């Protein structure tokens, strides 16, 4: 065993305790009542960065939640790697489905850590920090220069970091960006991610009468906003899975023949894995496209929740005055979020029955990105994964979004390495989110090796 491996092995328990401490902080960025906790999670990250021995550790205040920055630029002549991660987490509802409380991190019999954020992204970010710590402690130095930039608004659209990156690109000067916030297809198939989708997240509000109405007195003449919302939603995407927003598909990039062939042949059997993971017997959506194309390269429209009227126990005969739906669209890289929002707003209003007053709110948006697998940092990442997993990594897209990735690409213009150790069974954003501790420790070794290879 190398000294580095010994250090990692000897400190497993302490690494896990440091992760637990972070996971106990409910840093839910989309719910204002957790604002204090989001700030505490930022401070926790700063303590970790100082402990590693990084310099210029700073909790940078913004209009929203702070950014946490640190650097170590003493490896003269070596490349600078900008490491990104997020310390905020998603809401936990439905709480009753958690077998152990979301902010009481618990390692269950399967040797997975259960907590909100265990995988997305505190677990994955912590493993990167522990790789830095291990390298620094064992060698007294790092093999490359690093900057770390962590945000607390990723799950809420990442406005503050976007502003920072656009305003101070020179402070983030680097040769490569490294992001550990993605998944691999299974625990023995390592992956590098070469594309993310963008997103627009909206709220559609339908106003009917000026107040709630008795459904006997007014039923037959009153507008019903909930029903209007159902009509709008079903017109925007109907049973064939197509999205009926004029102009939406105009700029969609046609995938290459090689991509289409790969998606059709599906050598990793990801279609079956998807069904199994979801517990369904058939896949939904646009059946004429292979499932992987639907996830990586087609736009989607999803309803996340509908509110309005009466849903308590028993019955209440009321026609609601107002109804709301949260609706998002995932956007392959060529579709720009602002343009799509305009198209969406128009289409939603046009789809509404004449008695409905519709307002559409743009909650947040972010762009997708495609990255090249051929850069030197990607080659280093592939070698590191091959070393720890014994296999060449597969190159995959990702249906999810990390809004800042596209901006890093655009503003900093350097290769972006997306190497994550999450698994589909981690249940990110869902009850019982968890992270395999095997993956956590393997991740530490892999990231340490990646940084060493970057420094050669």
Question: Which residues here bind ligand BES, judged by CB under 6 A?
Answer: 120-121, 154-155, 157, 181-183, 199, 364, 366, 398, 400-403
| Closer residue to ligand BES in complex, CB, 88/212 | 88
- Under rule CB under 5 A, which residues in 397-456 are in contact with Mn ion? none
| Closer residue to Mn ion in complex, CB, 72/87 | 87
Collect all residues with Cβ–Cβ distance below 8 Å to 299 and sequence separation of at least 6.
Answer: 197, 243, 248, 249, 252, 329, 330, 331, 332, 335, 340
| Closer residue to ligand BES in complex, CB, 71/183 | 183
- In whole angstroms, the minimum distance from the beta carbon of 121 to ligand BES comes to 6
Q: What is the token pair recorded at 305? A: 């929740």
Binding mask 173-192 for Mn ion (x = CB under 5 A): --------x-----------
Chosen from Mn ion, ligand BES, none, partner binding at 18 (C-beta under 5 to 8 Å by type)? none
88 binds Mn ion (CB under 5 A): no
| Closer residue to ligand BES in complex, CB, 398/444 | 398
Nearest residue to ligand BES by CB is 400
| Closer residue to Mn ion in complex, CB, 143/428 | 428
- In whole angstroms, the minimum distance from the beta carbon of 86 to Mn ion comes to 6
121 binds Mn ion (CB under 5 A): yes
- In whole angstroms, the minimum distance from the beta carbon of 261 to ligand BES comes to 24
CB half-sphere exposure, 238, CA atoms < 13 A = 6
Q: Are 215 and 120 in contact (CB under 8 A)?
A: no
Q: How far apart are CA 232 and CA 234, in angstroms?
A: 6
Chosen from ligand BES, Mn ion, none, partner binding at 151 (C-beta under 5 to 8 Å by type)? none
Q: How far apart are CA 46 and CA 57, in angstroms?
A: 6
* Cα-to-chain-centroid distance, residue 314: 39
Question: Other CB atoms closer than 10 Å to residue 27's CB: what's the count?
Answer: 28
Chosen from Mn ion, ligand BES, none, partner binding at 290 (C-beta under 5 to 8 Å by type)? none
Chosen from ligand BES, Mn ion, none, partner binding at 26 (C-beta under 5 to 8 Å by type)? none
Q: Are 368 and 198 in contact (CB under 8 A)?
A: yes
Q: What does the chain come to in residues?
A: 456
- In whole angstroms, the minimum distance from the beta carbon of 182 to Mn ion comes to 8
How wide is the angle at C-alpha 367 spanned by C-alphas 168 and 400, nearest 5°?
120
| Closer residue to Mn ion in complex, CB, 121/345 | 121
Strands 112-114 and 434-436: antiparallel
Q: Phi-psi region for residue 273, left (φ > 0), alpha (ψ -120 to 50) or beta? A: alpha
Q: How far apart are CA 449 and CA 445, in angstroms?
A: 6
Chosen from ligand BES, Mn ion, none, partner binding at 183 (C-beta under 5 to 8 Å by type)? ligand BES
120 binds Mn ion (CB under 5 A): yes
Collect all residues with Cβ–Cβ distance below 8 Å to 169 and sequence separation of at least 6.
Answer: 411, 412
Chosen from Mn ion, ligand BES, none, partner binding at 366 (C-beta under 5 to 8 Å by type)? ligand BES
| Closer residue to ligand BES in complex, CB, 142/419 | 419
| Closer residue to ligand BES in complex, CB, 360/398 | 398
Tell me which residue has tokens 């009509």: 231
Residues contributing to the site for Mn ion (CB under 5 A): 120-121, 181
């Amino acid at each position: 065993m190398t000294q580095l491996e010994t250090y990692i092995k000897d400190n497993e328990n302490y690494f896990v305790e440091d992760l637990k401490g972070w996971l106990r902080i409910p840093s839910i960025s989309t719910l204002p009542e957790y604002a204090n906790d989001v700030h505490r999670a930022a401070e926790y990250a700063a303590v970790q960065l100082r402990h590693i021995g990084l310099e210029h550790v700073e909790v940078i205040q913004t209009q929203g939640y702070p950014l946490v920055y640190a650097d170590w630029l003493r490896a003269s002549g070596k490349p600078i790697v900008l490491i990104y991660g997020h310390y905020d987490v998603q809401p936990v509802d439905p709480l009753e489905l958690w077998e152990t409380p979301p902010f009481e991190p618990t390692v269950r019999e399967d040797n997975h850590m259960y907590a909100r954020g265990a995988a997305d992204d505190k677990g994955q970010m912590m493993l990167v920090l522990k790789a830095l710590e291990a390298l620094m402690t064992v060698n007294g130095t790092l093999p490359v220069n690093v900057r770390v930039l962590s945000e607390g608004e990723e799950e809420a659209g990442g406005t503050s970091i976007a502003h920072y990156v656009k305003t101070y690109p020179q402070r983030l000067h680097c040769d490569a960006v490294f992001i550990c916030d993605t998944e691999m297809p299974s625990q023995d198939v390592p992956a590098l991610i070469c594309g993310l989708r963008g997103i627009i997240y909206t709220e559609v509000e339908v106003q009917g009468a000026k107040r709630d109405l008795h459904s006997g007195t007014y039923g037959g003449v009153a507008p019903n906003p909930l029903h209007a919302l159902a009509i709008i939603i079903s017109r925007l995407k109907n049973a064939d899975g197509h999205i009926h927003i004029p102009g939406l598909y105009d700029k969609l990039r046609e995938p290459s023949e090689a991509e289409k062939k790969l998606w059709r042949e599906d050598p990793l059997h990801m279609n079956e894995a998807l069904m199994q993971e979801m517990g369904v017997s058939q896949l939904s959506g646009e059946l004429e496209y292979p499932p992987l194309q639907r996830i990586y390269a087609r736009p989607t429209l999803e309803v996340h929740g509908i509110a309005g009227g009466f849903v308590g126990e028993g019955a209440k005969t009321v026609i609601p005055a107002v109804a709301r739906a949260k609706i998002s669209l995932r956007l392959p890289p060529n579709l720009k979020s602002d343009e799509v929002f305009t198209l969406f707003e128009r289409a939603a209003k046009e789809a509404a029955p004449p008695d409905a007053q519709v307002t559409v709110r743009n909650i947040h948006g972010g762009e997708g990105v495609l990255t090249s697998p051929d850069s030197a940092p990607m080659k280093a990442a592939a070698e590191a994964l091959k070393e720890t997993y014994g296999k060449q990594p597969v190159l995959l897209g990702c249906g999810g979004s990390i809004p800042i990735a596209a901006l890093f690409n655009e503003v900093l213009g350097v290769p972006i390495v997306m190497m994550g150790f999450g698994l589909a069974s981690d249940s990110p954003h869902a009850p019982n989110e968890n992270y395999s501790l095997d993956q956590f420790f393997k991740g530490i070794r892999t990231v340490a090796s990646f940084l060493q290879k970057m420094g050669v």
